[in-house]
């Protein structure tokens, strides 16, 4: 177990011992029990630490209640052996237990809809989460592993050749030692853009429809993976893909349905296009993601459309009445 993970787990174990003492005291309240239930459900490591804390507490109880007045030699030998075993267990628990390896502890980070969040990881790497995104981070002695569960994230990875940095997103694994890259995961594809250094993208799943098993991406290169294959492209400037960090969406002849799909990532309102003529329109410009409603209004004005409310959570985009 590395030093960072060991320290985190020691803190969890200390909290577990405090909960054992609290729950076994005469002064425990119903509020204490409710707070304990919430703590126990926060993470799997809390349950494991609680099991070990209860076992340690029981070992202490055995030593404390060893009889001291035993008349028969046989009984005295039996209790002496029990005491020695209990004492040995106690020594192992107190002095060796924090050093024993355990399952790596994962930490989850997420952003709400419409929120952009920056997280400093324990190894010195920095993560920027776009709207409605979730990652799970697990560190071991020989690697740093991230699962991108949903959304879009930009990573600035702290160099460490002895501990590669892996990100699993959909059916793709992105590996870097020290670099910066952006990943956008949707239902059908994984979009990887390298802004600094080099990353390797490899295939996690097994399928005959994919044309690539691995691809090395350089700075300013972009790779979109999907079930029908991988699409690699290069650009002298990837700032358009990174515009979300500035709270902007840069559109260059973007089909209106694709733009609407992006705006819906930042708000609860569903935007419906029923007219094929409206769906065929394209948009160019810079939109403000922090103000999706105002951006939609600006689109409607520029394309001569009208916004018709259908419910509290949906609107219809139509051609404006002449």
> Tens-of-pLDDT digits for all 322 residues of the chain?
455 566 677 777 778 788 777 777 777 787 777 777 776 777 777 778 787 777 776 655 544 444 544 454 455 445 444 444 444 444 444 444 444 445 677 899 999 999 999 999 999 999 999 999 999 999 988 899 999 999 999 999 999 988 999 999 998 999 997 899 999 999 889 999 999 999 999 988 654 444 457 889 999 999 998 877 889 999 877 888 899 999 999 999 999 999 999 999 999 999 999 999 999 999 999 999 999 999 999 999 999 999 999 999 999 999 987 6
Q: How many residues does the chain have?
A: 322
**pTM score over 0.95:** no
Which residues are registered as beta bridge partners of 183? 153, 192
Which residues are registered as beta bridge partners of 110? 134
Cβ neighbourhood burial of 131 (10 Å; 0-12, 13-18, 19+): buried
Count the neighbouring beta carbons within 10 Å of the beta carbon of residue 310: 11
What local confidence, expressed as pLDDT, does residue 149 receive?
96
Query: DSSP alpha helices (H): ranges in the chain?
Result: 3-23, 30-41, 44-64, 73-91, 256-263, 276-279, 292-303
* The dihedral formed by the CA atoms of 282, 285, 289 and 292, expressed in degrees to the nearest 10: -60
Q: Indicate the domain borders of the chain.
A: 3-99, 106-234, 247-319
DSSP 321: P
What local confidence, expressed as pLDDT, does residue 199 receive?
94
DSSP 264: G
What local confidence, expressed as pLDDT, does residue 236 receive?
76
Q: Which two tokens stand for residue 294?
A: 């105002």
Cβ proximity of 264 and 271 under 8 Å: yes
* The dihedral formed by the CA atoms of 243, 294, 257 and 185, expressed in degrees to the nearest 10: 40
What local confidence, expressed as pLDDT, does residue 93 receive?
47
Q: Which of 165, 261, 179, 263 is nearest to 221 (CA)?
A: 179
What local confidence, expressed as pLDDT, does residue 3 receive?
59
What local confidence, expressed as pLDDT, does residue 212 receive?
54
Q: Which two tokens stand for residue 60?
A: 């202490």
Q: Which of 181, 146, 144 is nearest to 162 (CA)?
A: 144
Q: Which two tokens stand for residue 257?
A: 């349905």
What local confidence, expressed as pLDDT, does residue 57 receive?
62
Identify the residue whose tokens are 């109880």: 61
Backbone angles phi and psi of 281, in degrees to 5: -75, 155
Class of domain 106-234: mainly beta
- Using left for φ > 0, alpha for ψ between -120 and 50, and beta otherwise, residue 251 falls in beta
User: Helices 3-23 and 30-41 sit at what angle, rounded to 10 degrees?
Assistant: 160
What local confidence, expressed as pLDDT, does residue 320 receive?
86
What local confidence, expressed as pLDDT, does residue 15 receive?
81
Assigned CATH for 247-319: 3.55.50.30
Cβ neighbourhood burial of 99 (10 Å; 0-12, 13-18, 19+): exposed
Q: Give the span between the Cα atoms of 266 and 251, in whole angstroms.
A: 16
Q: Give the span between the Cα atoms of 147 and 141, in whole angstroms.
A: 18
């Amino acid at each position: 177990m590395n030093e960072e993970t060991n320290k985190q787990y020691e803190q969890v174990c200390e909290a577990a011992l405090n909960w054992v003492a609290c729950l076994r005291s005469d002064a425990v309240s119903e509020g204490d029990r409710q707070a304990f239930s919430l703590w126990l459900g926060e993470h799997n490591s809390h349950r494991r630490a609680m099991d070990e804390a209860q076992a340690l507490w029981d070992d202490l109880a055995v030593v404390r209640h060893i009889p001291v007045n035993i008349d028969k030699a046989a009984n005295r030998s039996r209790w002496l052996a029990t005491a020695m075993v209990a004492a040995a267990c106690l020594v192992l628990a107190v002095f060796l237990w924090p050093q024993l390896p355990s399952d790596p502890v994962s930490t989850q980070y997420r952003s709400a809809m419409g929120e952009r969040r920056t997280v400093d990881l324990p190894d010195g790497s920095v993560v920027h989460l776009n709207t409605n995104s979730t990652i799970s981070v697990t560190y071991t002695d020989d690697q740093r592993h991230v699962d991108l569960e949903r959304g879009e994230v930009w990573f600035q990875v702290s160099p460490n050749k002895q501990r590669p940095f892996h990100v699993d997103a959909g059916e793709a694994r992105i590996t870097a030692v020290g670099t910066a890259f952006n990943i956008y995961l949707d239902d059908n594809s994984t979009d990887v853009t390298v802004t600094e250094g080099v990353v390797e993208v490899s295939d996690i799943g097994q399928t005959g429809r994919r044309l690539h098993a691995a691809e090395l991406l350089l700075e300013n290169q972009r790779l979109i993976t999907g079930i029908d294959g991988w699409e690699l492209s290069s650009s002298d400037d990837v700032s358009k893909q990174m515009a979300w960090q500035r709270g902007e969406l840069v559109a260059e002849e973007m089909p209106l349905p694709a733009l609407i799909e992006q705006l819906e990532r930042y708000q609860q309102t569903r935007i419906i296009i029923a007219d094929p003529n409206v769906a065929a329109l394209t948009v160019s410009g810079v939109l403000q993601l922090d103000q999706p409603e105002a951006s939609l209004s600006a689109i409607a004005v520029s394309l001569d459309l009208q916004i018709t409310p259908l419910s509290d959570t949906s609107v219809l985009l139509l051609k404006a009445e002449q």
